[in-house]
Amino acid sequence: MRHIISILLENEPGALSRVVGLFSQRNYNIESLTVAPTEDHTLSRLTITTIGDDRKIEQITKHLNKLIDVVKLVDLTEGAHIERELMLLKVKATGAQRAEIKRTTDIFRGQIVDVTSTVYSIQLTGASDKLDSFLAAIGNAAVLEVARTGVTGISRGEKVLSL
């Protein structure tokens, strides 16, 4: 099963490499990874999506917790949560396609953020499967370039990941 693990990490040199190293060292897989400092500049927040059965996920969270630089973590997929990913993409947009792409973008609540006579640059946010669906709707042939941020997330309700 796919899990989203969110981590508060000491904002120290080398901390990120310890997390990434753990995954390769123990043969765990990383589907996506996002990281940025938080409002507290001594902490970074890192979000990893990974795939594994319960046993494997338990090992992953235990080993992450053992890393000295990991302050706190939560497996967001254990409860109700909000996940988002941002995608920027360039698509071929000529002739009749221009209107069609515009319409599809609207349906997915995306925005066209740059335009040339032959190309649209589109911005879209949502859960990863929504971005996948959008790409499927546009069709491979039209897509020129895709940049995705990877998933970030937060739990629903009053639960917070903080010190």
Partner 1 sequence: MELLSGGEMLIRALHDEGVELLFGYPGGAALHIYDAIFNQDKVAHILVRHEQAATHAADGYARATGKPGVVLVTSGPGATNAITGIATAFMDSIPMVVISGQVDSSLIGSDAFQETDMVGVSRPIVKHSFMVQTAEDIPMVVKKAFHIATTGRPGPVVIDVPKDVTDPARKFEYQYPSTVKMRSYSVPGKGHTGQIKKAVEILLSAKRPIIYAGGGVIQGNASALLTELARKLGYPVTNTLMGLGAFPAPDKQFLGMLGMHGTFEANNAMHFSDVVLGIGVRFDDRVTNAVAKFCPGAKILHVDIDPASISKTVAADVPIVGSVTSVLEEMLELVSQADAKVDRKSLDLWWQQIEGWRGKQCLKVMPADNDVIKPQQVVESVYRVTDGEAYVSSDVGQHQMFAAQYYHFNKPRRWINSGGLGTMGFGFPAAMGVQLAFPDAISVCITGEGSIQMCIQELATCLQYGLPVKIVCLNNESLGMVRQWQDMQYGGRYSSSTYSESLPDFVKLVEAYGHVGVRIEKLSELDQKMAEAFALKDRLVFIDVAVDPSEHVYPMAIKGGSMKDMYLSKTERT
In the complex with partner 1, which residue's Cβ is closer, 70 or 151? Answer: 70
Burial class of 142 by CB neighbour count within 10 A (0 to 12, 13 to 18, 19+): middle
* Rg value, the chain, Cα: 18
Q: Does 58 bind partner 1 (CB under 8 A)?
A: yes
In the complex with partner 1, which residue's Cβ is closer, 29 or 59? Answer: 59
Task: Determine the Cα–Cα distance for residues 92 and 90; give it in Å rounded to an integer.
Answer: 7
Q: How far is the CB of 39 from partner 1 (least distance, A)?
A: 16
Q: Does 83 bind partner 1 (CB under 8 A)?
A: no
Residue whose C-alpha is closest to residue 80's, from 159, 149, 5: 159
Answer for which of 35, 45, 46, 69 binds partner 1 (CB under 8 A) is 69
Answer for which of 27, 53, 62, 116 binds partner 1 (CB under 8 A) is 62
Q: Which stretch binds partner 1 (CB under 8 A): 64-72, 107-115, 133-141, 151-159?
A: 64-72
In the complex with partner 1, which residue's Cβ is closer, 12 or 114? Answer: 12
Contact indicator for 143, 134 with CB cutoff of 8 Å: no
Segment 22 to 51, residues that bind partner 1, using CB under 8 A: 25
Answer for which of 1, 29, 51, 59 binds partner 1 (CB under 8 A) is 59
Task: Determine the Cα–Cα distance for residues 91 and 73; give it in Å rounded to an integer.
Answer: 38
* H helix intervals, the chain: 15-25, 54-66, 97-107, 128-138
Tokens 């042939």 belong to 141
Q: Which residues are at the interface with partner 1 (CB under 8 A)?
A: 10, 13-14, 17-18, 21, 25, 55, 58-59, 62-63, 65-66, 68-71, 163
